[in-house]
Amino acid sequence: MTIKDINFADYKRTLYKGVIGYKSDMNTPEVKGKWMYPMEDILADDIGEGFALHVKPPKKSYSSAVYKLYYDVGTITNLWLDTGAYIGEYAELEKIKMFIIAEKEKGTGTFEGYKEYIREKLKQDKLWIPKSELIPLAAAGERELLRECAEQRARVIKRREKEEAERKAECARKEEERRCEKEKVFEKKKAEIIDKIKNNGRIDNEYVYGENIIVNMVEAAGINIPLRTKGWMLDTQKFIYFRCEPNGMISVCYDKRICKCSQKVFEILEEMRKYYTKIR
């Protein structure tokens, strides 16, 4: 039998007031009441005592209900925590029962077992102890254990901040390397284009590092490009090229089957030719 086969209308829900969870920001812990089904009723076995199932109905007709299994931490304040176990709609009751048995053998459901669980986390210094797991310790007045948890949280935060700083430094270093490499390629390409301008060569309207080299050079020269003309140069870059003729004129070669020629581009390219001929 699976969870999906259960008719929950046949079972009585119980309000558990000490369920530990998080607010909508998923960061601030809170203790609130939840209507849940005692697992001893669902399993028809006392082995389920100390465990309860929360059922969140589906929001859409095509979605499934969400099931969460909670356990009694074992403090005098009767606090409940999420086991973290994934329970899908096809989870078999027998397997859930075996899970509960295994958890009880580890001490889950008793406060001593919970403290042992926290101590195991403390031994693994890199593990993060969420604030929600500190609430039972605070309720039971376990100050020493709380102090150790706070120290570990501080160490983990410090380590994560260091790792984040190293990651950002590495990203900045790679970005600087890319920028320098890009500048070298651009300068080399620009030098080739300027040489072609002087020697009446063919200038392909191509992209370098994702940027149109002709548009880049025109803008670097301080020449204004109307948006429509700029769009024409960018969109047709695969189909056109420019040539500086011996008589000083600039011709534009393009595939008339694919695009029409911009008239404004001649003025822009002439300004570009004058600018780069003058400064070099």
Q: Is residue 258 a part of any domain in this protein?
A: yes
For residue 149, being part of any structural domain is answered with no
- Complete DSSP assignment for 188-202: HHHHHHHHHHHTT-E
The overall average pLDDT reported for the chain is 86
φ, ψ at 254 (rounded to 5°) = -155, 165
Instruction: Look at the chain and report how many structural domains it folds into.
Output: 2
Structural domain includes residue 156: no
- Residue 247 belongs to some domain of the structure: yes
- 132 and 185 in a single domain? The answer is no
Give the pLDDT band (50/70/90) at residue 244.
low
User: What's the start-to-end Cα distance of the chain, in Å?
Assistant: 84
164, part of any domain: no
Among residues 141, 168, 195, which one ends one of the domains? Answer: 141
Q: Which residues have a Cβ under 8 Å from the Cβ of 263 and sit 6 or more positions away?
A: none
Structural domain including 273 reads 181-279
Residue 130 located in a structural domain: yes
Contact 270, 242 (CB under 8 A): no
- Structure tokens given for 103: 């958890």
pLDDT digits (tens, 9 = 90+) for 151-199: 999 999 999 999 999 999 999 999 999 999 988 998 898 888 888 877 7
Judge whether 240 lies within some domain: yes
The structure's pTM equals: 0.64
Total length of the chain: 280
**Which neighbouring-strand residues pair with 215?**
none
Do 43 and 106 have their domain in common? yes
**Full strand arrangement of the beta sheet holding 240-244:** 202-204, 240-244, 250-254
Residues 123 and 206 in one domain: no
Claim to verify: residue 16 and residue 125 sit in the same structural domain: yes
